[in-house]
A and B are shown apart, each in its own frame.
Chain A
Amino acid sequence: MSYIKSERRPSMAERRPSNLSGVRPASIVPQLAYLELPPTSSTPEEVDVLIIGTGLVESILASSLSWNGSNVLHIDSNSYYGDTSATLTVEQLKDWVRKVNLHKVGYKGFKNASLYIPRMNQHKIVSKNYGIDLSPKFIFAKSDILSLLIKSKVYKYLEFQSLSSFHVFENDNFEKLSNSKEEIFLNQSLSLKIKRNLMKFIKFVIDWENEKEIWEPYKNASINEFLTQKFKLEDAQTNEIIFSLGLCTSSQLRTPEALQRIKRYLISFDVYGSFPVLYSKYGGPGEISQGFCRSAAVAGTTYKLETEITNYDLSRNLVKLSDNSTIKVNEKIVISPSQVPAIFDDFYSIYKKKHEQLEINRMVAIVTKDCKEWIEENENAGIVVFPEGSLPSNNKFAVQVVVMNSGSQIVPEGQAVWYLSTIETGTKAREDLENALKLLEDSIIRESNIETIVASEDIEFKNGMASISSVKLGSSLLNFTPTEKLNYILKLSYTQMTTIPHFGVVNPKLFDDDAKLDVKNSTTSSQIQDTAEDQLYQKLTEKIIFDSMPSSELSYDGVITEAKALYAKITGSDDDFFDVDFEEDDDDVQHSGSQMNGGNTTSDGSSNGINAAVDDNNESAIVEEDEDEDALLMEDMTTSPIPTNMASDDIGKETDADIAIESEDEMII
């Protein structure tokens, strides 16, 4: 591979042996030292890279460039971090909806936004007790983003919680996933033959790449065909495997792609405990963006919120900002599609024509139920999937729902958020989402009233413990007529555009834009030579990179690939992407001893007593079934004072009454 190294342009780190690369004086403290510079020249007059938009990918990019010695200015037209992956309060959300519909800079890439807040709730909402993700995501325990969070130490800024409930809606029930061999074995509803086939499949999929002879004949067939023909599985199981384990949105997905997705779940299980995914508390991608921005700032990136480009001088590479400063950008300008400044509108509209725009339709509902019926004990979130064809609207694509309650600190006590999304388009999408919402509504009313209406046949015994499970809803539940109406705090729906293909892994070529070629191809018939416009377009593409809106993926898959692709486009190679020797804190090392034996939840053990070195120690101790307790440390009281969210209790209580939502009460923005 050495020829690549010699051919590629030297990375910025190499071209500028600055304070962070090469011989590094041990005494340099980048995050502190530069703060003591005189305050006069607060804006750098010259930067290597200007990044516009503080979304997830841009934030990771800023951090990676900065740590490798580039001088980065990172701006955002909004007053908050996160851009298209922001976590917003209710007030910010209202403003967001308004501006999306006005197509303002900072809000592009979204459309058809509508927010509904029952008037009776308006004065009760304490805006800052809510943190609504514009593109909710969760982290597979074995994934590139998780490795990067640890390596870059950004995880230290965040708190993570586990999520192990994956449900598939079927026959009016939420089937809880049987995801371990043990569970499959215990599941009495499965025949022996099915159990055997399921286990065979799970064993196969963990190492599917190396078992070509099994899937090769099906490589162009759908996953559904593969599962039913090759493994003789029935609908109930294939639905679970495809929609829940794989989080595929269609059973028609090609076999290899689906297998990769199913594997992702299974290899993530038991990495940190008996759960496959984690998510960051206080908001998902919005929090992680903030974390990487902080990391970038520590490495020297300058941050300016509420700032946009007002002018650009292509010949001199000069950018004028809305705060009237002028900056020379030596390398590239990276622009989030949501923040394309007016001066680049024409340029961007040509770009857009060459990159297929796909729709994602999203709905967010906040309800006055904690939805613990769908959430594992001691957890605060769950996944519900409506497979294709499971809705009255006969949905072609799955509707995926993330349910999160107050334990994840994004809503007040007694409430939950439902994040629904589909890759269906147009009015059909809206219909599917409404259908799914209605089913969620009916189910939660029914299941949260379970104690009052339960009949003896609804109770099943599991390991000697009585449990009422929605897996086997008895007739008394199925015929339950709700007397209660679900109270919504708010309902939000919007359409988001993306250039990242659904299902697909991000193609590093996504940002390649061979302008000349494409423009020529599209204009062959009109025998146009290189017009001045074409030349300008081409010059701009050499300088300006548009990145993409968030994908339809519920996981963070693709995010790192995208950041790396951008990084390579700027520096010439991704060889040194986060190739930084983040040193261990002395403190952590000292601390590890007590950390390891601290399976009990002392305040010390849980207080970020963090040591990546622990990983190495664990290499040999492969898997002991009951180690889960150790991995899940109670949150430290000292790092999160409780009283801050007191106001939230009131909301729950006051809105408990069964007031119907009248259309006159609506506030629609």
Chain B
Amino acid sequence: MNAKSSTSVKLVLLGEAAVGKSSLVLRFVSNDFQENKEPTIGAAYLTQRCTINDRTIKFDIWDTAGQERFASLAPMYYRNAQAALVVYDITKPQSFIKARHWVKELHEQASKNIIIALVGNKYDVVENEEEGSEDSKRKVSIEEGKQLAKDEGLLFFESSAKSGFNVNEIFMAIGHKIPDTSAGAASVNDNRNSERVDLTVNNDSPVNGNANCGC
């Protein structure tokens, strides 16, 4: 095994519409880690690698693709997700209530060991406000966020997809918590007794239709 190990992590996004889920991911995937990466049209999900200590984590980031808007997320979405971002907008209390709902949903639907990060987005809006000011645009205090994270055992960040504040930090923190599967886990894997067929490794070609027949 290489000194540098690589782990693939399925990460799902959750949160009310327009809280900035996609912007967070776009910020993470495009600007800071890789120059001018154009997200692929028709991509099943976005991917981004980052290196933490001496291992590479490849995030497969699944967007809800709008299927959450009418509570129509398929079980497939949660399946085998190892990490989730539950995003709310710190200027919209309703989105924070919704965030609680998504955390609950994750506990019910997703695997037990899922790493969840609670993210209060749009920090840029309140960045220059004085603390406790009367007409603050902030409607969800940082303490409320922290408390929910503490109660539910979540990572917690306030971030800004617009300015990039704390965006990479969220993913790095998740990456740190992902167990290293390259070494010890292989043996567990063997016991699963369930091969997966890789559809891209294909013996087929137009001329060998009679593959089975060559004697």
Q: Which residues on A are within 8 Å of B, measured CB to CB? A: 20, 24, 26-39, 42, 67, 80-81, 141-142, 146, 149-150, 152-157, 159-162, 179-181, 199, 202-203, 206-207, 266-267, 269-273, 278, 281-282, 287, 290-291, 293-295, 297-300, 302-307, 323, 378-380, 407-409, 580-587, 595, 601-604, 606-612, 614-615, 618-624, 627, 630-644
Chain B residues 1 to 22 lying within 8 A of chain A, measured CB to CB, are: 1, 5-10, 16-18, 20-22
Given A35-B63, A637-B185, A610-B42 contact (CB < 8 Å): no
- Cβ B17 vs Cβ A42 within 8 A: yes
* Min CB gap A262→B, angstroms: 12
6 closest A-B pairs by CB:
A607-B8, A297-B65, A156-B44, A582-B42, A32-B22, A303-B72
Among the 9-residue stretches B138-146, B151-159, B165-173, B207-215, the one with 4 or more Cβ atoms under 8 Å from chain A is B207-215
Instruction: Identify the closest chain B residue to A282 (Cβ).
Output: B79
Tell me whether B26 is interfacial, beta carbon within 8 Å.
yes
Tell me whether B53 is interfacial, beta carbon within 8 Å.
no
- Cβ B9 vs Cβ A35 within 8 A: no
* Min CB gap B51→A, angstroms: 14
* Min CB gap B189→A, angstroms: 4
Report how far A71 CA is from B41 CA in the complex, Å: 18
Report how far A378 CA is from B190 CA in the complex, Å: 10
- Cβ B201 vs Cβ A378 within 8 A: no
Contacts of B69 in A (CB 8 A): 39, 42, 302-303
- Cβ B8 vs Cβ A622 within 8 A: no
Given A302-B66, A378-B193, A633-B198, A29-B113 contact (CB < 8 Å): no
- Cβ B80 vs Cβ A640 within 8 A: yes
- Cβ A608 vs Cβ B43 within 8 A: no
Select the residue from B8, B205, B206, B211 with max chain A CB neighbours within 10 A.
Answer: B211
Tell me whether B101 is interfacial, beta carbon within 8 Å.
no
Q: Would you give 28 A-B contacts (Cβ < 8 Å), ordered by A?
A: A31-B65, A35-B21, A35-B63, A38-B18, A39-B16, A81-B72, A81-B74, A150-B199, A157-B76, A160-B196, A269-B211, A270-B203, A271-B204, A294-B65, A305-B70, A380-B194, A585-B47, A602-B1, A603-B5, A604-B182, A606-B196, A610-B200, A614-B200, A622-B203, A623-B203, A638-B7, A641-B111, A643-B112
- Cβ A638 vs Cβ B202 within 8 A: no
Contacts of A67 in B (CB 8 A): 42
Our pick among B44, B209, B212 for the contact of A157 (Cβ within 8 Å) is B44
- Cβ B212 vs Cβ A631 within 8 A: no
Contacts of A608 in B (CB 8 A): 8, 60
B interface residues, tally (CB under 8 Å): 80
Our pick among B185, B205, B213 for the contact of A203 (Cβ within 8 Å) is B213
- Cβ A632 vs Cβ B211 within 8 A: no
Given A42-B17, A303-B72, A610-B200, A407-B192 contact (CB < 8 Å): yes
- Cβ B205 vs Cβ A622 within 8 A: yes
- Cβ A39 vs Cβ B18 within 8 A: yes
Our pick among B26, B76, B190, B196 for the contact of A32 (Cβ within 8 Å) is B26
Q: A583-B43, A637-B188 are in contact. List 5 more A-B contacts (CB 8 A).
A: A142-B204, A581-B41, A586-B40, A609-B198, A633-B198
Contacts of A614 in B (CB 8 A): 200-202
Contacts of A81 in B (CB 8 A): 72, 74
Contacts of A581 in B (CB 8 A): 41-42
Instruction: Identify the closest chain B residue to A584 (Cβ).
Output: B40
Report how far A631 CA is from B211 CA in the complex, Å: 16
Contacts of A282 in B (CB 8 A): 76, 79
Q: Which residues on B are within 8 Å of A, measured CB to CB? A: 1, 5-10, 16-18, 20-23, 25-26, 37-45, 47, 49, 58, 60, 63-67, 69-72, 74-77, 79-80, 82, 111-113, 178, 181-182, 185-186, 188-190, 192-215
- Cβ A34 vs Cβ B66 within 8 A: yes
Contacts of B1 in A (CB 8 A): 602
- Cβ B42 vs Cβ A637 within 8 A: no
- Cβ A642 vs Cβ B188 within 8 A: yes
- Cβ B63 vs Cβ A31 within 8 A: yes
- Cβ B17 vs Cβ A35 within 8 A: yes
- Cβ A146 vs Cβ B199 within 8 A: yes
- Cβ A161 vs Cβ B77 within 8 A: no
Given A582-B41, A634-B189, A36-B18 contact (CB < 8 Å): yes
Report how far A294 CA is from B12 CA in the complex, Å: 13
Report how far A377 CA is from B65 CA in the complex, Å: 39
Instruction: Identify the closest chain A residue to B48 (Cβ).
Output: A587
Contacts of B38 in A (CB 8 A): 26-27
* Min CB gap A241→B, angstroms: 14
Contacts of A409 in B (CB 8 A): 194
Instruction: Identify the closest chain A residue to B187 (Cβ).
Output: A637
Report how far A614 CA is from B85 CA in the complex, Å: 33
Our pick among A29, A270, A290 for the contact of B211 (Cβ within 8 Å) is A270
- Cβ A206 vs Cβ B209 within 8 A: yes
Given A153-B43, A305-B70, A644-B112, A29-B202 contact (CB < 8 Å): no
Contacts of B17 in A (CB 8 A): 35, 37, 39, 42
- Cβ B200 vs Cβ A635 within 8 A: no
- Cβ B192 vs Cβ A635 within 8 A: yes
- Cβ A638 vs Cβ B8 within 8 A: yes
